[in-house]
Each structure stands twice: as structure tokens, then as C-alpha cells.
Amino acid sequence: MPELITPTPRLHASWLSAQEEAGPDAHLDGGGLGSEDDVDTAEGFAAWVERLRGYGDRTVPVEQGRVHASYWWITEGDTYLGAIDLRHYLNGFLLDAGGHIGYSVRPSARRRGLATWALTGVLHEARVLGMDRVLLTCDPDNTASVRTIERNGGVLEDVRDTLIGPKRRYWIDL
């Protein structure tokens, strides 16, 4: 049975396995991984996990270009299956291209409905934060993500060119 958990250093080996499975240059949405993050060593991974946990604390300022966000990992037991994040508000880039919520599922765990399930759970968290609607985006050819968003009530606003390429933009009323 899948769970949404707070990121933990305990799953370092499983997380690395998922990254390897996705490919060395793969960007996994919703994970919060930056190019400067050291996730190969146990110490670096633990520091990164601690930073992820801290981004949800609105009393602590975040770095330039970031917004406060809550992160969860999709797991089964001690197996990391994916990640999802909820950005508490939007900056200009997120309004145009990134949205409030990002998610990814490791290749071997896809086609099981995990993204739809995780998004449903995080929409509840958005309501708890007092949000009344959220923006989600995906690549125009990502049919799996289109289905995930639409199954959770997403209404297409538009498809537009952004700094990171064309994006389908959906709003979900909470």
C-alpha cells in the first residue's frame, strides 16, 4: 500500500536507485533537487533532505527564486516510488510554467495510478493551507500527466510557450 511520507535520509539507497533508473540527466518533477545538491554521499543526502523539510516553514526565508513548499515522497515500505511537492504560492516563473504542484514517479512504478493517488492527497493538503485553487502544468505530449490532472478535476486554461518549453496549464478548484 503506498504512502505519502516526509522525505527521510533512511531511503537514500532506494532514492539513488530511482534516480539511476530514470537516467543520469533526468529531471524528476516535485523532488526539489537542485544542480548544486550533493545526494551521492550519506551526509550530502541528509543535508538535502533537511533543506527540503525546511522549505515548508514560512517563518524561515527561502533562497532567491524559490518559494515555500511542502515535499512528500511516494513510498511502499522502504521503497521510494516518487515525489510530489506543493508550492505554497506562485512567483512569476511558477505562474507561467511550473504551477503549484509538481510530481514524478520512478519508471518501474509507473502505470499504477500512483501520481493520481498522490495528487489527490496533496490537493487535500492545499485545502488545509487555505488555498482555493491550484495550477498544474505539464508538457503537451505527456498524456499520463494530462490524465492525472484531469482525473483530479483539472480544467485546461491554455497551452503556451514558456522559458522551459511549451506547457499545458490546468487549474483545479479546491
Q: List Cβ neighbours of 156 (8 Å cut-off, separation of 6 or more).
A: 168, 169, 170
Cell of 105: 514517479
pLDDT digits (tens, 9 = 90+) for 31-47: 998 888 999 999 999 99
Q: Which amino acid is at 59?
A: T
pLDDT digits (tens, 9 = 90+) for 128-137: 999 999 999 9
pTM for this model (two decimals): 0.95
Q: Is the pLDDT of residue 23 over 90?
A: no
Cell of 136: 498544474
3-state secondary structure of 39: coil
Cβ neighbour number for residue 76 with a 10 Å cutoff? 14
